[in-house]
Amino acid sequence: MIDTFKINQDKDKFYYLFNHSDEDNNSFVSVPALTDILSSIVKIDQKRGLDVVDIVVESPSRYEAMLVANLYATVYQSFSLELSREELTTLTRYLNEEKDNKFKDLAKAELDLEDYQKNGGLILLDAQVKNLVENISQLEAQKNAANIELSSKEKEYNSLSTEIARIDPTLVDFMNGKIDESYISEVQSKIAELESKRDIEASIPQDEKLKQKTLDEYNRKIEPLRKTFEEKIQVLKTSLYSNTPEDRRIVGQKLLEANVGVQSYRTKVNTLSKLLSKYEDQFSKLPSQSIEYAKLERNRKATEKLYLILEEKYQEAKINERIKLGTILVIAPSVLASKPSKPNRPLIVFLGVMLGLATSLGFAFARNYFDHTVKSPDEIENKGISVLSWIPAIDELKGGGQSEFIVANKPKSPASEAFKALRTRLQYAKLEETPIKTILLTSSVPSEGKTTISLNVAGSLAQMDKKVLLLDCDLRKPRIHNVFETDRYPGLSDYLFSNASLEEITRKTKLDNLSVITSGTIPPNPSELLASKQMKEFLEKMKGIYDFIVIDSPPYISVTDAEILFRITDGTILVLRAGKTPADAFFRTCEKLMKLDSHNFLGVVFNNFSYKSAYGYYYNYYYYYSKPEEKTKSNGVKISSDTRN
C-alpha cells in the first residue's frame, strides 16, 4: 500500500496515510499502524446471491477514500489471478505424479496377468461361480449394514443405561434379564434367518412371478413370528410400567426399545455370519486357478481405467492452466465523492423519533402478545364461568409453614375477609336437598396456590363451628404436612393400605373444629389408590364424622388424580394465579370439568389478584371497606365490622 504512493506533493489531501505529527508532515505511517487503520475504515460487502463485492472506504479525505478503494480492487484482482493459477499448477503437478505411478502399476498388472496365462492357460468363470460371488456380496452388504445399526443402538443403549443406573440400577438388570430370555432370543434368531434368506432370493436374477411367489412365502413365515415377538415385548412393557414409578417410565421405555434393538441387530449379525460362513466354505472349494485369474483380471482393468482417467484429467488441467484468465472484473472504479456521506443529521433526528415510537409501541404490543396468562376475573366471567372469589396477594406466604394459615393468624385481614366471602358463596353454590360435604380444590398447572386456598377454606368453615377435615390427596408432591410442621406419615395412603388406624392419621390443629389428614407414604401408583374401593369407603366414613371435607389434590392437567377425585366429591373449585396461569391450560381444564359434570364444577377462585393493578381507581373503594381498623379521611369515623359488605 505504502509503496504505491510515490507523489508526496499531495500529502495534504490525505488524512490517514501520512504521519501528520511530524514537523514536516512528510513521512508515511508505519505498516502496523496502517494495517489497523485500514481494518477500521474499509468495509467489504458481498451481495447475497450475486458475485458482486462492494468496497466501501470512509475517510475525512475524499481523495484518500477513492485511492484506497481503487487500490483494494486492483490488489484483489491480481491476487485472485495468481491464486487461481497456483491451484491449477498444483493440480497439474499432482495429476502428473499420480499418472506416472498408475502407469507403473498398470504395466505390472499386465505383466502379472501375462505370466499367469503363460503358466496356467486361459480360464473362464462359469455362471455358478458368478452366482456364488453375488450371494457372498449380498450377505456382506447386509452384515455391514446390520453392524452399523448395531453400533448406533449400542451407543444409545449405553447412554440410557448410564443415565437410569444413577436413578434405579435394578431397572437395567430387570430389563436385561427379560430380553435375554431364551424364547425371545430364539424368535429373534428365526426372524433374522428368514429375512436374510428372503433378501438373497430377491437379489438373484430369475423370473419375476417365481421370485414374488418365493418372497411371499418367506413373508408368510415371518409374519407370525414377528407378531409373537411383539406380543412378548408388549407383555414386558406392561410388566415394566406396573413396577416403575411414573417419573421413570419414559426413560425406561426408551431403554427397553434400545435394548430390543441391540438384541435384534446382534442376532441378525450372528445369523448373517453363519450364513456367510457357509458360502465362504463353498468359495474356498473352488479351483484356485479361477480365483487367482479373476483377481488378476480385475486388478488390471481397474488400474487401466484409473490411468486413462488420470491422463485425461492431466491434459485438461494443463490446457486450463495456460488459458486461465482473471475472474475478477472491476465494474465501477471509485470516483471522488461530491458530498460527505455522514453525518446525515435530518435522517438521524427522524430515525430517532421513529425508533422511540416504534420501541414504545413494540414493547406494549409484545407485552400483550406474549403474555398468555389470565389477568382479571372479567376474562373468566366473559366465558360464562363463575368466579366464587378473588384472594389478594398475601405477604405472609413468604414465611412458609403456618404463616399461610391466614384465617387463623390474621382473621381481620383483607385475605381473611375474602375467604369468608368464599365460604358464604360455597354454601349456596349448589341448590340441593343434600348440602355439599366434600369439596375438591385443584388447579390447571402447578404452583397456583391451591394448598394455601384449601387450608384457609377449611379454616374458615371450621370458624362457623362446623366440624371440618382437611385431607391431603396430593400423593405425588404433598405439602399440607409442611404447613402444619408435622410428619407426612402415617397418613391417607397408610390407612388405605391398612398400615395405620384412623386415630393415628388424624391430627388436630390450633382450630378446635379443624382436623388434618396428611398424604402419608408416597405410593408407587397414586391414581390407582385414589380410584380404589377403599378410598370411596373412606370418604363415606368421613362424611359421617365431619360436616365438611376439604380435599387438596394435584393439578388437573398433569395427572389423572384430580379427575378421579372429581367424580367422587360433591363440588370442585378450580384455583388460578393471576398473571401466571396460562389461559390455554386454564380454559382447557374448565372445558374438561364442564364436560365431566357441570353441576359438580362450583367455580373459580382467583388467587394472588391485585385489584388496584386491574381496576385502578376503584381499588380505593375496596381498600376502604376491607380495612375496619382504619378511619375515613373525611370525618375520622371508624368503620365497624357491621358496616362492611
Q: What are the pLDDT digits (tens) for 405-430?
A: 999 989 999 899 999 999 999 888 77
Report yes or no: 611 and 619 within 8 Å, Cβ to Cβ. Answer: yes
The C-alpha torsion from 578 through 581 and 584 to 590, rounded to 10°, is -80
Report yes or no: 549 and 437 within 8 Å, Cβ to Cβ. Answer: yes
Q: At what angle do helices 249-284 and 127-165 cross, to 10 degrees?
A: 160
Distances in Å between the alpha carbon of 30 and those of 1, 66, 135, 166, 296?
A: 11, 21, 74, 63, 67
Q: Tell me, what's the pLDDT at 640?
A: 30
Question: Within its chain, how far is the Cα of 278 from the centroid?
Answer: 48
Q: Tell me, what's the pLDDT at 294?
A: 53
Report the alpha-carbon distance of residue 441 to residue 555 in Å, rounded. Answer: 9
Residue length of the chain:
645
Residue numbers in the chain where pLDDT is lower than 50: 6-7, 298, 617-645
Q: How many CA atoms lie within 13 A of 443 on its CB side?
A: 23
Report the alpha-carbon distance of residue 602 to residue 73 in Å, rounded. Answer: 79
Q: Which long-range contacts (CB under 8 A, 24 or more apart) does 129-137 make?
A: 129/286, 129/290, 131/204, 132/279, 132/282, 132/283, 132/286, 133/283, 134/203, 134/204, 135/200, 135/203, 135/204, 135/279, 136/276, 136/279, 136/280, 136/283
Backbone angles phi, psi at 7, to 5 degrees: -105, 115
Angle CA 56–58–62, to nearest 5: 105
Cβ neighbours for 383, distance < 8 A, ≥ 6 positions apart: 587, 590
Q: Tell me, what's the pLDDT at 638?
A: 33
Which residue in 17, 20, 18, 30 sits closest to 68, CA to CA?
A: 17
Angle CA 92–98–99, to nearest 5: 85
Q: Tell me, what's the pLDDT at 150?
A: 76
The C-alpha torsion from 424 through 426 and 428 to 430, rounded to 10°, is 180
Which residue in 352, 355, 336 sits closest to 344, CA to CA?
A: 352
Report the alpha-carbon distance of residue 559 to residue 526 in Å, rounded. Answer: 10
The conformation of residue 188, written as its DSSP 8-state character, comes to H
The DSSP secondary structure of 530-584, one letter per residue, reads HTSHHHHHHHHHHHTT-SEEEEE---TTT-SHHHHHHHTSSEEEEEEETTTSBHH
Q: Tell me, what's the pLDDT at 450?
A: 94
Q: Tell me, what's the pLDDT at 626?
A: 45
Report the alpha-carbon distance of residue 34 to residue 519 in Å, rounded. Answer: 77
Report the alpha-carbon distance of residue 375 to residue 64 in Å, rounded. Answer: 62
Provide the β-strand partners of residue 512.
Answer: none
Report the alpha-carbon distance of residue 405 to residue 413 in Å, rounded. Answer: 12
515: helix, coil or strand? strand
Report the alpha-carbon distance of residue 479 to residue 572 in Å, rounded. Answer: 19
Q: Tell me, what's the pLDDT at 642?
A: 34
Greatest CA span in the chain, whole angstroms? 131
Host H or E run for residue 514: strand 514-517
Report yes or no: 90 and 369 within 8 Å, Cβ to Cβ. Answer: no
Q: Tell me, what's the pLDDT at 442?
A: 96
Q: Tell me, what's the pLDDT at 59?
A: 84
* Sequence letter at residue 336: L
Q: Tell me, what's the pLDDT at 620?
A: 44
The conformation of residue 10, written as its DSSP 8-state character, comes to T
Report yes or no: 603 and 573 within 8 Å, Cβ to Cβ. Answer: yes
Cα Rg, the chain, nearest whole Å: 43
What ranges do the domains of the chain cover?
379-609, 617-645
Cβ neighbours for 37, distance < 8 A, ≥ 6 positions apart: 16, 29
Distances in Å between the alpha carbon of 451 and those of 224, 359, 475?
A: 54, 41, 13
Provide the β-strand partners of residue 640.
Answer: none
CATH of 379-609, one of 3.40.50.300, 3.40.960.10, 2.100.10.30, 2.10.10.90: 3.40.50.300
595: helix, coil or strand? helix
The DSSP secondary structure of 78-124, one letter per residue, reads HHHHHHHHHHHHHHHHHHHHHHHHHHHHHHHHHHHHHHHHHHH----
Q: Tell me, what's the pLDDT at 158?
A: 82
